[in-house]
Structure 1
Amino acid sequence: MGSLRRDKKKERDIARQRIARLLSLADEIYARDKELAISYGELARRISMRYRVRIPKEWSWRYCRKCKKFLYPGINMRVRVRSRRMPHIVIMCGECGGLNRRPY
C-alpha cells in the first residue's frame, strides 16, 4: 500500500493563484460589500500562512501591520506622502490607528 504524497510545489502554486484572485476580488467588491471584502482578505492571509507563501508586494502593503485587517485606500486607510529627511509614504489604518511607513 503506497503512501499518498503531497506535491508541495503544486500546492504552493495553487495557493499563490488563489491569493491573487481573492485579493483582486476583495479590491473590486470593497466599495459595495465591506464585510465580504474583509473576509476575502482574511482568507487570503490564512492561505498564505497555511502554505507558507508570501503575499505579493503589490498587496502586502494593504494589510495593517498591527491589526492585520485588509485596508482600502480612502475608506478605512489614509495615505500621506512625506518628503522630509527621507521621502516616504505614511499609511494609517482607520480600524486601529496603526502606522506603516514605506519609502518611495
Structure 2
Amino acid sequence: MRKSKKANQNLRNIVNERIDILMNLAEKETKRGNTERVKRYVLLSRKLAMKIRMSFPKRWKRQVCKKCDSFLIYGLNSTVRTNPKESCVVITCLNCGNIVRIPYIAEKKLKRQLKYKNRVESNLKAGENSDSNLNLTENSNIENN
C-alpha cells in the first residue's frame, strides 16, 4: 500500500530538520578541528536524504566537499574565487585539493534580459513622445489652414 502525501511530507520535514541539526554540528566541529566527527555527520546527513530519495538541501550541498566529505568553511579550509573568463565561481577544498566550478551564467542572462527590457521600454517611451510631438505639429498645421 502506498503512503499518503501528508505522511511523506511529514517524513521529509523531519529529515530536513535532522539534516540541519547534523550540518550545524558539522560546522561547529570543523571550527574545533575534529575532522573525523565532521565526516561522520556529513555522511549521516547524506544517507538520510538518500534513504527517503530526497535531494540534499542546496544550502548545504555547496558547503560539503564531494571528494573527502569535509565541511567547507570559506577561508578556513577552502578558498573561493571568481573567474570572469569562465563566468564561474571556483571553490577549492584545502584538505584534498578538489575543485568545484559553479557557473553564474543565469545571473548574467537575467542581467542581459533586464537590460534589453529597459532599452525596449525607453525606446517605446521615446517613440510615444515623438508621436505626441507629431500630433501637436499636425494639429497646428490644420489650425493654420
Structure 1 residues without counterparts, runs of 5 or longer? none
Q: TM-score, normalised by structure 1?
A: 0.75
Q: Tell me the CA shift for residue 85 of structure 1.
A: 4.5
Relative contact order higher in (CA < 8 Å, ≥ 6 apart): 1
1:93 aligned residue: 93
Say which SS state the counterpart of residue 89 (structure 2) adopts.
strand
The Cα RMSD (Å) is 2.4
Q: Is the 8 A contact 1:16 1:53 kept in 2?
A: no
Aligned residues: 100
Q: TM-score, normalised by structure 2?
A: 0.57
Report the structure number with the largest CA radius of gyration.
2
Identify the range of structure 1 (43-52 vs 73-82) with the bigger mean alpha-carbon deviation: 73-82
**Structure 1 or 2: more strand by fraction:** 1
Between the aligned partners of 1:103 and 1:49, the Cα distance in structure 2 is 26
Between the aligned partners of 1:85 and 1:42, the Cα distance in structure 2 is 32
Structure 2 residues without counterparts, runs of 5 or longer? 105-145
Letter in 1 for 2:85: R
Between the aligned partners of 2:86 and 2:72, the Cα distance in structure 1 is 27
Between the aligned partners of 2:69 and 2:13, the Cα distance in structure 1 is 24
Letter in 2 for 1:38: K
Q: Is the 8 A contact 2:30 2:71 kept in 1?
A: no
Letter in 2 for 1:76: N
Letter in 2 for 1:34: N
1:66 aligned residue: 67
Once the two structures are superposed, residues 75-98 of structure 1 have per-residue CA deviations (whole angstroms, 9 ceiling, x without a partner) of 332211222242x21011223322
Q: Is the 8 A contact 1:42 1:70 kept in 2?
A: no
Q: Is the 8 A contact 1:65 1:100 kept in 2?
A: no
